[in-house]
């Protein structure tokens, strides 16, 4: 039995009242990964760092991204564990 290495997406809903443009900037920022900075996001989005800082504060980006990162990393670890189990099963069969 082979385990798929696809990671199930982590739910990351837009907040009520959060403008689509602010949410789109957040998604681009989120996709930079756990080491992300607003400076990097500003370069990618073309939105000034000060504006992104305002968005971040207004829409609680730090708290939302902290939850997202934790869930995403849990899923990555689970995939790694399942892949290791499959490898060991295969080795036992060959043995």
Express each pLDDT in 45-57 by its tens digit: 999 999 999 999 9
Q: Which residues contact 34 (CB under 8 A, 6 or more apart)?
A: 69, 73
Residue 10 C-alpha from the chain's centroid? 7
Write the pLDDT tens digit of every residue in 38-91.
999 999 999 999 999 999 999 999 999 999 999 988 888 887 776 666 666 666
Residue 84 C-alpha from the chain's centroid? 23
Strand segments (E) across 1-95: none
What is the pTM for the complete model shown?
Answer: 0.74
Query: Nearest to residue 58, comparing CAs of 25, 10, 36, 11?
Result: 25
């Amino acid at each position: 039995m082979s385990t798929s290495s696809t990671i199930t997406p982590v739910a990351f809903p837009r907040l009520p009242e959060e403008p689509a443009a602010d949410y789109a900037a957040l998604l681009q920022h989120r996709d930079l990964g756990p080491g992300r900075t607003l400076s990097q996001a500003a370069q990618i989005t073309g939105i000034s760092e000060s504006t992104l800082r305002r968005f971040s504060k207004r829409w609680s980006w730090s708290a939302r991204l902290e939850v997202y990162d934790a869930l995403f990393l849990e899923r990555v670890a689970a995939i790694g564990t399942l892949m290791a189990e499959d490898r060991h099963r295969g080795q036992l069969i060959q043995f």
